[in-house]
Amino acid sequence: MPGKNLSRDEAQQRAGILSVDGYEVHLDVTSAPDASAATFRSLTTIRFRCAEVGAASFADLVAPAVRAVTLNGRALDPGAVFDGARVRLEDLAAENVLVVDADCAYSRTGEGLHRFVDPVDGETYLYTHFEPAEARRVFANFEQPDLKAPYVFTVTAPAAWDVYANSAAERVEEQAGDGAARTWHFLATRPISTYLTAVVAGPYHVERDHWSRELPDGSTLEIPLAATCRKSLARYFDAAEIFTVTKQGLDFFHEEFDYPYPFGKYDQCFVPEYNIGAMENPGCVTFREEYVFRSKVTEAAYEARANVILHEMAHMWFGDLVTMKWWDDLWLKESFADFMGHFAQQEATKYQASWVTFANQRKGWAYRQDQYPTTHPITADIRDVEDAKLNFDGITYAKGASVLKQLVAYAGRDAFFEGARRYFQQHAYGNTVLGDLLEVLAVTSGRGERAMADWSAAWLQTAGVNALTPQLTVDAEGRITEFAVLQDAAEDHPSLRPHRIAIGLYDREADGALLRTARVELDVTGARTVVEELAGRPRPALVLVNDDDLTYCKIRFDTHSLVTLRTALGEIREPLARALTWSACWNLTRDGLMPARDYVALVLRFAGQESDIGVLQSLHSQAKVAVESLADPAWRAEGGRLLAEGALHELRLAAPGSDHQLAWARFLASTARAEEELRLLEGLLAGSARIDGLEVDQDLRWSLWIALAAAGRATVEQLDAELKRDNTASGHQKAVQAMAARPTAEAKAAAWSAVVDSDQLPNAMVGAQTAGFAQAGQLELTAPYTARYFEQLERVWAERSIEIAMRFVGGFFPRLHTDEATLAATDGWLTGHPQAAPALRRLVLECRDELARALRAQAADRA
Ligand SMILES: [Zn+2]
């Protein structure tokens, strides 16, 4: 659609002449419960100024129909000024009033105003999600972060509903007549960006609480808290725990940021079919409702939810109060919130494994992304909003946060927070670029502008990850004669960087434990840094460079340490050091430097000893990838058998009722192949088999059904019966996944067709279909789809919303077909489509890179 992919140049030009005084947005969603109603009424008034009288510009609006457009009292012909994505504005005055009356579409893709009908009770629920540029699907606006303005929302909705928005409701008015609707008048917001506005409406269940704090001037800041979810989830809603973390976070950020929470109230809405984890809409944060746990989950899930709550809360200051000028500096807010979420979690809540999870899982995302050919510096070049959409990636979040962790080590914690405080004071309600943050940090850290510029150039303006390798020479008595740290970089991104690191030396105790016996902290700069202090010491059993996880790098080992790890990895007693070691071994495997079967052997030998539940769960998924993609295909069946046997063994050993027991049960379900294992799954479902302490609740039941369906041991009737038993949103998704997982040509064809031939499937169901479709044991069935996939790529990309298109590209890429033919097909498409949308090419290039990496790892495993 012309004009839909708003570019940075256009946004700059527009901000150069326009400024916005305010929006009044009236939405009428009384039609929402009527499934046949495709649209809702959207009436927007924008008051704005233009610095160049007579100039032309445009407003953004993606809508099926526009009824009327009025500019400064003149009626414009919608057919002439509206092209489906923009409203052309000509001959602007110094002060302007634009009124757009439109019919906007309810969304089923999680973008814009999403509509969901609960299968449990037939109730309809709405919520908005706009980042980066989807507010224009709901009201006419200037869709760019740097044209901030106050908003007055009014929403007319069915009378039985509640409505939430960024600000509190001033009054709720009964509609005249039959009283079937009420109109919610919300207070004007503070100046915020379009992508941060939000409306949530429906018969949501709500719980309320309250937080207050005395401010330095003696006044009291009162913040009403609300937490909502669908009515049918209310019995699972642990709002008290959510409020506890919320209050801990508010205390912490007020202490550290010294800037009172600016948005009046704090609602946290858990909403269905949400595309991401959560969104930091000021005063009205939206979360995926999978964070309302209806079955037993492990402590890792509670930790992850607390982390997200704190991440979004950090955004209230960094992102919402002070906002990036354009999406190039998306990282400014995301890296900060990601870092601060972990930091606050560690300092203010009971979740003390926060930095272990960060080191082991969050950074894994960054390392993966940073080795793609599409990687980019943390400060990215974002040409348009399609680029922006793809940049919510492992670089922007996880690498950015890792680098901020380095910055805190470099500038000092106090200087870092003092810099943040000044930044909020100087730029409140404004927009910034990277230089604005560096400027205050240069002052507060005392390092000066030059040093901050060097730091920024090394860490923010170059791409790629360095590897750090210890190099030891040892004399005949086993003493270190020289200890050096080697630094290298990928060919495409050759920058070596200054790293502040700790080196840990570990030795075996009498009881077998591997304990740290020495630690040195130093700066590593060039290709080789000699560590004088370690000369003369006896060679340790294990050397861990980047101990304590201060820097962002791939950790390598010397050969002696690798020998130690093979027999004693599980004996490292410090959870962070062990987690770092596990992720280093995983990186070695992905890089083809450790045979995949050796990594699997480490997991089989030591995962049973792993105390950190989050680390254990990532070991499970990594071991599965190692067998299915990275190992020699000739060994796959054997590797799969070993994983399932190991899972069953550990499941029987795990403490009854423990998180570990649940994790092993899920792992068994995902690996079971042998008759005895599958019979056990069937028995657990039927109640004829029991594992002491293991509750086979609804989510676990679905994991078992999906496993049995993939093995060809679940009939359509059985899956239907399970869906009747669990006729919920989640049940429907799982049933679709199980149906698609069945090993028949018909099941694969149905899953493919549901996504590719129709645009009616909602976002969550697209995900369920692709998750079920790809099964490691069914390569013959899915092989014919490789060619079809490449045939359909451009059409699907062009016809679907970007969210659905991204799910298609990633979900149906033949990632389990790790062979030369699939690589050749992928290269054939890339060569033949140089003009395809850059965002589409980027996704395919990344899938291609994973495939090529898997082939290299297979060769290493074979050797
Ligand atoms: Zn964020």
User: How many domains are there within the chain?
Assistant: 3
Rounded to the nearest whole angstrom, what is the distance from the C-alpha of residue 4 to the centroid of ligand 1? Answer: 24
| Angstrom distance (rounded) from CA 676 to CA 696 | 18
The answer on 24 and 58 residing in a single domain is yes
| % of the chain with per-residue pLDDT over 90 | 94
62-66, 497-501, 624-628, 812-816 — which is least confidently predicted? 497-501
DSSP line for 504-539: EEEEE-TTS-EEEEEEEEEEE-SSEEE-GGGTTSBP
Q: Is residue 210 part of a domain?
A: yes
Q: By three-state DSSP, how is residue 267 classified?
A: strand
Out of 292, 310, 340, pick the residue that ends a domain.
292
Q: Interior CA angle at 593 toward 590 and 594, to 5°?
A: 80
Q: Is residue 244 part of a domain?
A: no
Q: Is residue 452 part of a domain?
A: yes
Rounded to the nearest whole angstrom, what is the distance from the C-alpha of residue 312 to the centroid of ligand 1? Answer: 6
Beta-bridge partner residues of 27: 42, 155
Name residue 706's amino acid.
I
Given a cut of 80, whether residue 500 has pLDDT beyond it is yes
The answer on 276 and 218 residing in a single domain is yes
Ion ligand 1 — residues with CB < 5 Å: 334, 337
pLDDT band at 177; cut points 50, 70, 90:
confident
Count H helices and E strands in the chain, helices first.
29, 28
| Angstrom distance (rounded) from CA 622 to CA 239 | 33
Q: List pLDDT tens digits, range 555-604.
A: 999 999 999 999 999 999 999 999 999 999 999 999 999 999 999 999 99
Rounded to the nearest whole angstrom, what is the distance from the C-alpha of residue 333 to the centroid of ligand 1? Answer: 7
Burial class (CB in 10 A: 0-12, 13-18, 19+), 256: buried
Beta-bridge partner residues of 127: 114, 200
Rounded to the nearest whole angstrom, what is the distance from the C-alpha of residue 303 to the centroid of ligand 1? Answer: 17
CATH number for position 382: 1.10.390.10
pLDDT band at 483; cut points 50, 70, 90:
very high
Q: List pLDDT tens digits, range 807-860.
A: 999 999 999 999 999 999 999 999 999 999 999 999 999 999 999 999 999 999
Rounded to the nearest whole angstrom, what is the distance from the C-alpha of residue 490 to the centroid of ligand 1? Answer: 29
Cα distances (angstroms) measured from residue 467 to each of 377, 407, 546 = 17, 19, 10
pLDDT band at 176; cut points 50, 70, 90:
confident
The answer on 454 and 476 residing in a single domain is no
| Angstrom distance (rounded) from CA 560 to CA 473 | 11
Query: Does residue 656 contact residue 693 with C-beta atoms inside 8 Å?
Result: yes
Q: Quick one: DSSP state of residue 197? A: -
Q: Is residue 162 part of a domain?
A: yes
Q: Per residue, what are the HEC states of 693-735?
A: CCCCCHHHHHHHHHHHHHCCCCCHHHHHHHHHHCCCHHHHHHH
| Angstrom distance (rounded) from CA 333 to CA 262 | 17
Q: List pLDDT tens digits, range 689-719.
A: 999 999 999 999 999 999 999 999 999 999 9
Out of 273, 292, 311, pick the residue that ends a domain.
292
Q: Does the active-site annotation cover 312? A: yes
Q: By three-state DSSP, how is residue 150 classified?
A: coil
The answer on 397 and 367 residing in a single domain is yes
Pairing relationship of beta strands 542-547 and 499-508 according to DSSP bridges:
antiparallel
Ramachandran quadrant class, 696 (left: phi over 0; alpha: psi -120 to 50; beta: rest): beta
The answer on 92 and 47 residing in a single domain is yes
Q: By three-state DSSP, how is residue 91 classified?
A: coil
Q: Which two structure tokens, joined as six digits, stand for 857?
A: 């790892």
Q: Which two structure tokens, joined as six digits, stand for 269?
A: 């809405």
The answer on 450 and 521 residing in a single domain is no
Q: Which two structure tokens, joined as six digits, stand for 557?
A: 């080992």
Q: List pLDDT tens digits, range 454-465.
A: 989 999 999 999
Q: Is residue 348 part of a domain?
A: yes
Domain range for 572: 472-551+553-583
Out of 567, 583, 599, pick the residue that ends a domain.
583
Tokens 């982390």 belong to: 307
Nearest CA to 385 out of 847, 837, 46 is that of 837
The answer on 479 and 399 residing in a single domain is no
Rounded to the nearest whole angstrom, what is the distance from the C-alpha of residue 397 to the centroid of ligand 1? Answer: 8
Query: Does residue 546 contact residue 565 with C-beta atoms inside 8 Å?
Result: no
Q: By three-state DSSP, how is residue 474 classified?
A: strand
Nearest CA to 504 out of 536, 544, 468, 558 is that of 544
The answer on 272 and 390 residing in a single domain is no
Q: Which of 289, 312, 386, 628 is flagged as catalytic?
A: 312
Confidence at residue 451, expressed as pLDDT on a 0 to 100 scale: 87
Nearest CA to 151 out of 66, 26, 11 is that of 26
91-95, 321-325, 457-461 — which is least confidently predicted? 457-461
Q: Which two structure tokens, joined as six digits, stand for 850?
A: 């994973």
Given a cut of 90, whether residue 179 has pLDDT beyond it is no
Q: Is residue 731 part of a domain?
A: no
Given a cut of 50, whether residue 1 has pLDDT beyond it is no
Query: Does residue 553 contact residue 465 with C-beta atoms inside 8 Å?
Result: yes
Rounded to the nearest whole angstrom, what is the distance from the C-alpha of residue 289 to the centroid of ligand 1? Answer: 17
Given a cut of 50, whether residue 752 has pLDDT beyond it is yes
Rounded to the nearest whole angstrom, what is the distance from the C-alpha of residue 253 to the centroid of ligand 1? Answer: 16
Q: Is residue 15 part of a domain?
A: yes
Query: Does residue 737 contact residue 766 with C-beta atoms inside 8 Å?
Result: no
Half-sphere exposure of residue 688, counting CA atoms within 13 Å on the CB side? 6
Given a cut of 70, whether residue 633 has pLDDT beyond it is yes
| % of the chain with per-residue pLDDT over 70 | 100
Rounded to the nearest whole angstrom, what is the distance from the C-alpha of residue 73 to the centroid of ligand 1? Answer: 40
Rounded to the nearest whole angstrom, what is the distance from the C-alpha of residue 313 to the centroid of ligand 1? Answer: 9
Average predicted confidence (pLDDT) for the chain: 96
Q: Is residue 80 part of a domain?
A: yes
Give pTM, 2 decimals. Answer: 0.96
Q: Please count the other Cβ atoms lying within 10 Å of the Cβ belonging to residue 347.
A: 13
Burial class (CB in 10 A: 0-12, 13-18, 19+), 794: middle
| Angstrom distance (rounded) from CA 399 to CA 521 | 22
| Angstrom distance (rounded) from CA 494 to CA 703 | 44
The answer on 166 and 281 residing in a single domain is yes
The answer on 433 and 528 residing in a single domain is no
Rounded to the nearest whole angstrom, what is the distance from the C-alpha of residue 131 to the centroid of ligand 1? Answer: 10
Query: Does residue 563 contact residue 476 with C-beta atoms inside 8 Å?
Result: no
Nearest CA to 392 out of 852, 806, 808 is that of 806
Rounded to the nearest whole angstrom, what is the distance from the C-alpha of residue 314 to the centroid of ligand 1? Answer: 8
Give the 3-state secondary structure percentages of the chain, helix then strand then coil, rounded to 5.
Answer: 45, 20, 30
Query: Does residue 679 contact residue 745 with C-beta atoms inside 8 Å?
Result: no
Q: By three-state DSSP, how is residue 386 classified?
A: helix
CATH number for position 281: 2.60.40.1730
Residues 6+ apart with CB under 8 A from 519: 502, 503, 504, 505, 547, 548
| Angstrom distance (rounded) from CA 408 to CA 397 | 16
Query: Does residue 63 contact residue 102 with C-beta atoms inside 8 Å?
Result: yes
Rounded to the nearest whole angstrom, what is the distance from the C-alpha of residue 338 to the centroid of ligand 1? Answer: 7
The answer on 510 and 404 residing in a single domain is no
The answer on 566 and 499 residing in a single domain is yes
Confidence at residue 2, expressed as pLDDT on a 0 to 100 scale: 47
Rounded to the nearest whole angstrom, what is the distance from the C-alpha of residue 406 to the centroid of ligand 1? Answer: 19
Burial class (CB in 10 A: 0-12, 13-18, 19+), 450: exposed
Rounded to the nearest whole angstrom, what is the distance from the C-alpha of residue 812 to the centroid of ligand 1? Answer: 27
Rounded to the nearest whole angstrom, what is the distance from the C-alpha of residue 830 to the centroid of ligand 1? Answer: 32
Cα distances (angstroms) measured from residue 457 to each of 155, 412, 453, 498 = 47, 19, 6, 11
Query: Does residue 155 contact residue 146 with C-beta atoms inside 8 Å?
Result: no
